[in-house]
Amino acid sequence: MSTFKLFSGSANPEFAKKVGEYLGMNVSDAKLNKFSDGEISVQITQSVRGQDVYIIQPTCAPTNDNLMELLIMIDALKRSSAKSINAVIPYYGYARQDRKAAPRVPISAKLVADLLEKAGINRVVTIDLHAAQIQGFFNIPADNLFGSILFVNYIKSKNLKNPIIASPDIGGVARARQYADKLGYDLVIVDKKREKANESQVMNIIGDVTGKDVILVDDMVDTAGTLVKAAEVLKEKGANSVMACCTHGVLSGPAYDRVANGVLDELVISDTIPTKKNAKKITVLTAFSIIGEAIRRIHNNESVNSIFNN
């Protein structure tokens, strides 16, 4: 393998370290500091001239700080004469603002894409975008990797007696159907009406869940309101058990308490975002091998899609 350098922002350095171990390399040093007024300071402490570089930085909370740090790192690397700059953003913040859902609102996901390109990246790599069309917001290669490979294997290991896949809303049906097809399970849909941001009301179950072991699948879990309410309705409709598989554990506000004290039997997430250790009823799967293998293949001009063909 020709040489390249791997860098990490401050959002999830443990994840970046695991990716480095997968690739058999260390994460390169960069000084990341803040001035007393909160401004971010970055210094690349070794030469990257003529090198391909990969920066691992999910834009999770604190979202704006992590995004700004990523942009400043990109600028520092560009001014250090890096050959190519690849932004590896396991969790892409602002992805929920992907369209004009109301009058006079921004399309922030597009704005973030423009900022990243203007800063100087040549490629972006992410996992399970909230909306797949965000790939089209970039005028450079954008690889949206599938986290389902982690969860499908985990679901199989559970040896559930009467499993069925559930989408927590109409918008997630395509994702849920992918899981159902890979596992050979049937599919039901939770139909809900969203009242306002971060709050949702479960309305109805489309399909029969009597005696079923239900697996809710989604790209992210934020306050966990949707999942817990969905689990309540599913069990009211006769479900034997309800687990949820969500790629990105945003887990803001009351999320941990809702999961711990609600009827949801298990929440399975990945480590694209740092989470509390040993949180009650939460299982964390690691996605470092997906990112690591994608980086290896991109750098060697191999197919990325073939990672998910088996």
Residues 6+ apart with CB under 8 A from 159: none
- Confirm whether residue 186 is marked as ligand binding: no
In this structure, what are the phi and psi dihedrals at residue 284, rounded to the nearest 5 degrees? -110, 120
- Confirm whether residue 222 is marked as ligand binding: yes
- Confirm whether residue 275 is marked as ligand binding: no
Q: Which position among 5, 18, 110, 192 bears the catalytic label?
A: 192
Rounded Cα gap, residues 253 and 255, in angstroms: 6
Judged by phi (left if over 0) then psi (alpha if -120 to 50, else beta), residue 3 lies in beta
- Confirm whether residue 169 is marked as ligand binding: yes
- Confirm whether residue 93 is marked as ligand binding: no
List 5's β-bridge partners, or say none: 53
- Confirm whether residue 224 is marked as ligand binding: yes
Q: Which of 153, 130, 155 is nearest to 243 (CA)?
A: 155
- Confirm whether residue 120 is marked as ligand binding: no
- Give the three-class secondary structure for 113: helix
**Cα end-to-end span (Å), the chain:** 24
Asked about 5 being catalytic, the answer comes back as no
Residues 6+ apart with CB under 8 A from 162: 211, 212, 213, 240
- Confirm whether residue 302 is marked as ligand binding: no
Which residues are known binding-site members for D-ribose 5-phosphate? Answer: 194, 218, 222-226
Give the catalytic positions in this structure: 192
Which residues are known binding-site members for Mg(2+)? Answer: 130, 169
Which residues are known binding-site members for ATP? Answer: 37-39, 96-97
